[in-house]
């Protein structure tokens, strides 16, 4: 997969489902597609298959779907909060038993 350019080639919010000309190459059409999203978060590898993107069918530039990114961020925030809450409970149990 070709990594996204340093600045998003597509306007935000994401294009509508109708095909639009790619503003990056001015030739291709923007289409909804999917990739495997990977990132290192808190030192751990996160891999999300079939992650929605908007991709040009010619130059293959893409941007992550902003709705999907928002959902992922919310999910990660909730997960990280649960981890921190569990660590806090463990710490409070250790100090209470000391």
Look up the domain containing 35 and give its range: 20-97
- 34-74: pLDDT as tens digits: 999 998 888 889 999 999 999 999 999 998 899 999 999 89
- For residue 8, tell me if it sits in a domain: no
The tally of domains found in the chain comes to: 1
For residue 7, pLDDT over 60 is answered with no
Of 32, 25, 29, 30, which is closest to residue 65 (Cα–Cα)? 32
- For residue 59, tell me if it sits in a domain: yes
- For residue 53, tell me if it sits in a domain: yes
**If you average pLDDT over every residue of the chain, what do you get?**
79
**Global model pTM greater than 0.75:** no
């Amino acid at each position: 997969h070709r990594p996204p350019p340093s600045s998003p080639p597509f306007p935000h919010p994401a294009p509508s489902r109708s095909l639009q000309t790619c503003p990056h190459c001015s030739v291709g059409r923007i289409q909804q597609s999917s990739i495997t999203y990977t990132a290192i978060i808190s030192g751990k590898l996160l891999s999300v298959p079939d992650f929605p993107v908007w991709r040009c069918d010619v130059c293959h530039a893409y941007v992550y779907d902003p709705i999907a990114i928002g959902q992922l961020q919310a999910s990660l925030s909730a997960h990280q909060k649960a981890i921190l809450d569990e660590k806090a409970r463990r710490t409070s149990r250790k100090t209470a038993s000391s």
